[in-house]
Chains A and B, each alone.
Chain A
Amino acid sequence: MVRNPSNREQFRPADHDAEHFLLTTVVGSYPKPTWLTRTKTLAEDPESSLDERALAEAQDDAARVITHEHERAGLDTVVDGEMRRDEMVEHFAQRIRGYEFNGPVKVWGHNYYDKPSVVSEVEYDDPWLLEEFEFTAGVASRPVKVPITGPYTLARWAFNEAYDSDAALAYDLADLVNEEVHRLVDAGARYVQLDEPALATTPEEHAIVGECLERIVDGVPDEVRICLHVCYGDYSKLYPAINDFPIDEFDVELCNDGYQQIDVFRDPEFEPDLALGVVDVHDAEVESVPEIKANIEEGLKVVSPDRLSVSPDCGVKLLPREVAYRKLSNMVTAAREIESELDAGEIETAAPNAD
């Protein structure tokens, strides 16, 4: 069952004018500055004078710049845009004992990724994200959200040489995620998002993800907000099963097909908070504020305003940086206008209030 969605109030900024509060956030990734990509290429080139230290400095600078870019866009919770991460499975597999890399494999055409192999029991070694979080929290003036690739995806998007089943591997990984979340919480993190894109392609395996989440939240205090993000797929195969997941918030990608699936979540009643994608990450056209407001109102068909968060559909890293920024900025403006209209009683909500 859901945890404690009321923990969202801690993210309301002190200077928030409106009575209503739509929590504005991001899924995580953001376009890397060109100079960071260039520095990384040079740092990997043995003939270049740039080394690992130069890359680390560039990553710090990029994390600082993008965190501030999120703040400038007006977001209530920010991320460093995942400036230190290359690929969502690789980044974690490099830090978990039990994984090894053998080389790139094809996804489609000439697009590849370093799909790792799990060759022995997975074990927790050094922290995965602690430095990233501490740095971002140190430069941010808003609360920092921590995206973590979920254990089901870390299991399914690897070759499994060591476990009898992908589920057994996912459960062991979930225990490691639990350990990582505890460290992050000790360091001050209050908002953790589990990304499970693999569930979008095999939604019938939702029970495995449910069990993973039970392990992940074990011992995690109620004031820590736990979000689950699942990319675009057939959500009717996940709903209402997700109502039983121990999460505070469920983040969905519905903007890209014009909210055709929004009604899926209306019956039975949606139990966690809803984090709704309100800008499309696969379209470089920047949505206008009125368009985004109409998208936000789709979310009000499912939950009351006090249970609605707004975010882009997914990570925005494939968009041009200027486009990504304008989408976020318009998204925040739209949310603030909706809040004012809610305060003024100008918007009718279909969903019941949580109180």
Chain B
Amino acid sequence: MTELVATTPGLFPLPDWAKSDLADLKGRQKADLISGSESNAVVSTYERARAEVVDEQVDADLDRIVEGQLRWDDMLAHPLTVHDGVETDGIARYYDNNNFYRSPRVVGELARSGDVAAELRAASAVIDDAAPLQAVLPGPYSLADLATDAHYGDDREFLSAIADFLAGEVEAFPEHETLFLLEPSLVESPPDDDVADAVPEAISTVAEATDAEVVVHTYFGALGEKTHAHLMDAAVDALGVDLVADDREQTVYNAVEYGITDDVALGVADGQNTLIESAETLRERVEWFTDQVPMTDFETVYVSSNTELFYLPVNRYREKLAALAAAADLEREVSV
């Protein structure tokens, strides 16, 4: 029996009122972005916005609730851009999108910061047992890829330091059911041979810091064969894949050829298009994958969007949540 779990990779759009309130409170320039020491007015605005997106997920009947990562002005680079041992350089393009983030430059030891743990504690208090909490972090490879190193001096050492830093952050998290580690860089700029075998090790370091189910979620296309094969060595419960991207046949090939985890996250709703897929379409996409990988009897399938959802206007993001929840509910706990 396969259990379908409706969830998302987080990083939601701010509610429209919060977009303008925060622009007014913080400003629109580079120097005005989140630093980790916000004014009370900014903190309370984010609290209101966080409560709103938690309620939306509960109302949509998602099976996992994320904090929403509304403070992450720099998207997946956030855990570093608010860190004391990090300086921010110019504005850099966020993958192949018309979005930009402050590029973090690591200039000192990456000690624990507790920034994300504080967000999750606040979210837990709002959720109040309505549904299990899902934590979200960048995976170590993507975080290292989005940053530059001016301290460690060696790619493998830097990756390992980032993994230790993330593991320290996870240890401070409140109770959570699931941890999504987002690893788009494994697709967009795959590791070269020098660091490829260090990637599963780094991911395992983060995963072993929690008792929760850990999903390493990849998107912006299919993984290369080598990267996929290496990932099978990581100590995680589930691999997440992008079934919206045009090269999804490659994802099926990878799973058949190199195997896949017993649990899997399937990015079936397009996080970068306002077109709302019906629940039936999303379920067909789930089955399109599971039917072609017959040797694995999936225990849990996370039904998700492929990417973060901040690319969307708020009305469409809400509709995506509803579609995902409905897709997982179509035939609850029935073999797919």
Contact = CB atoms under 8 A, between A and B. Distances in A.
Interface string B15-52: 01001001100111110110000000000000000000
Given A110-B23, A117-B274, A161-B275, A105 B312 contact: yes
A102 B273 contact: no
A111 interface: yes
A198 B311 CA distance: 17
A53 interface: no
Contacts of A106: 13-14, 99, 310-311
B313 to A, nearest CB: 4
**What is the interface of chain B mostly: helix, strand, loop, or mixed?**
loop
A108 B100 contact: yes
Nearest to B92: A108
Contacts of B312: 105
A293 to B, nearest CB: 30
B151 interface: no
Given A102-B313, A105-B311, A110 B32 contact: yes
Interface string B294-336: 0000000000000000111111100000000000000000000
A93 to B, nearest CB: 13
A202 to B, nearest CB: 8
A249 to B, nearest CB: 26
A115 B310 CA distance: 12
B28 A105 contact: no
Interface string A107-132: 11111100101000000000000000
A159 B98 contact: no
A160 interface: yes
Given A117-B274, A159-B274, A109 B314 contact: no
B84 interface: no
A108 B99 CA distance: 6
Contacts of B158: none
B141 interface: no
A103 B16 contact: yes
A108 B273 CA distance: 18
Taking residues whose C-beta sits less than 8 angstroms from the other chain, chain B's interface range is: 20 to 34
Contacts of A115: 313
Nearest to A156: B98
Contacts of A160: 273
Interface residues of A, number: 20
A110 B26 contact: yes
Given A108-B100, A160-B273, A201-B98, A103 B315 contact: yes
A107 B313 contact: no
B150 interface: no
A53 to B, nearest CB: 27
A115 B312 CA distance: 9
A157 interface: yes
Interface string B226-266: 00000000000000000000000000000000000000000
A201 B274 CA distance: 22
Given A102-B316, A104-B313, A161-B273, A110 B99 contact: no
Contact of A102 (B28, B274, B310): B274
Contacts of A105: 13, 310-313
B118 to A, nearest CB: 21
Contacts of B22: 110
Given A103-B314, A103-B315, A110 B273 contact: no
Interface in A73-120: 102-112, 115, 117
B273 A104 contact: no
A198 B22 CA distance: 28
Contacts of A112: 19
A110 B18 CA distance: 10
Contacts of B220: none
Contacts of B311: 105-106
21 contacts: A102-B316, A103-B16, A103-B314, A105-B310, A106-B13, A107-B99, A108-B91, A108-B94, A109-B30, A109-B33, A110-B22, A110-B26, A110-B27, A111-B28, A112-B19, A115-B313, A159-B272, A161-B273, A161-B274, A201-B96, A201-B98
Given A104-B313, A105-B312, A110-B32, 6 more contacts: A102-B315, A103-B16, A105-B13, A107-B98, A111-B28, A159-B274
Closest 7 CB pairs between A and B? A103-B313, A108-B100, A110-B23, A102-B313, A161-B275, A159-B274, A117-B274
